[in-house]
Amino acid sequence: MSLRRNARLHPVPLLAGVALALLTLQLGNWQTRRAAEKAELQAEYRAAAEHPAQPLDSTSPSEWHLVELRGEWLPGRSILIDNRVHQGRAGYHVFTPLQLKGQGGVVLVNRGWIGAGGDRAKAPPRISNPPGETVVAGRVRHPAEKPFMLAADSPSGMVWQTLDLARYRADTRLAVADFYVQQTSHADDGLIRDWPEPDAGIDRHRGYALQWYALAVLATGLTLWYLWNAFRRSRHDERQPL
């Protein structure tokens, strides 16, 4: 008497296939949401660029809005954000606090880029702070409350690795606003204000989403093939004589 072969459905490959299909589907959905968020960000940037600069009021302005500031630079309080590249050259972004006229507030202004020079051991470049009242137009930016760092930032004098408003307030005793302004207006200070449109990376996110969805389809297809193959073998075994 021959024994009928038992073509059991093994749970491990089945569960692995279902898990992989669900995981890749979720990753595809996440990339799709990121693309939508970046598209909204880009739309906000372009919409804000169409409006003229408005005087800063008491409310907290929205990201990318063009504002106009009137005040005086506070000398000796500038910081340089390191590792900023312009046309292949390493340098700094220059941040200087501006004491607002009539409002009593202080706003940090990203005044532009300056080259670092060939020898980092030398003193950082000198920053010109024109005395008297000045008018600055620029875009509002809201930095991260806790900037991402691969390692702890150890500032060397006025050179910092990233902008941290909380630490700046503690170090300078200046109650700067919870945003900064990216200067777009011209000034004869030797700084470069070549601000490119934010790299939204929408197409990149959509490409990643397409790859994840393709893997989800592949995982689903292989899982269904496994189920069908197991079912077919089971039916074949049922027809065999005992």
Residue corresponding to tokens 């804000």: 48
Task: List the alpha helices (DSSP H) in 50-111.
Answer: none
Asked if residue 120 is part of any domain, the answer here is yes
Spatial CB neighbours of 14, under 8 Å, sequence gap ≥ 6: 223, 226, 227
Asked if residue 29 is part of any domain, the answer here is yes
Q: What are the tokens at 109?
A: 């202004």
Run of H or E including 124: none
Number of domains into which the chain is organized: 2
Asked if residue 190 is part of any domain, the answer here is no
Same domain, 32 and 56: no
- pTM value > 0.75: no
Q: In 3-state terms, what secondary structure has residue 6?
A: coil
- Residues facing 66 on adjacent strands: 139
Same domain, 167 and 221: no
Give the pLDDT score at 80. 93
Same domain, 71 and 142: yes
Same domain, 100 and 211: no
Give the pLDDT score at 3. 40
Domain that includes residue 25, residue range: 11-40+202-239
What angle do the packed helices 11-49 and 202-239 form, to 10 degrees?
A: 160
Domain end call among 139, 154, 183: 183
Asked if residue 106 is part of any domain, the answer here is yes
Task: Decide: 91 and 115 in contact? Cβ < 8 Å.
Answer: yes
Asked if residue 45 is part of any domain, the answer here is no
Q: Are strands 54-55 and 89-100 parallel, antiparallel or unpaired?
A: unpaired
Spatial CB neighbours of 16, under 8 Å, sequence gap ≥ 6: none
Asked if residue 6 is part of any domain, the answer here is no
Could you count the other beta carbons within 10 Å of the beta carbon of residue 33? 12
Give the pLDDT score at 1. 38
Residues in the chain where the model's pLDDT stays below 50: 1-6, 150-151
| CA distance to 104, 209, 211, per residue, from 26 (Å) | 49, 10, 12
Give the pLDDT score at 239. 63
Same domain, 206 and 150: no
Asked if residue 196 is part of any domain, the answer here is no
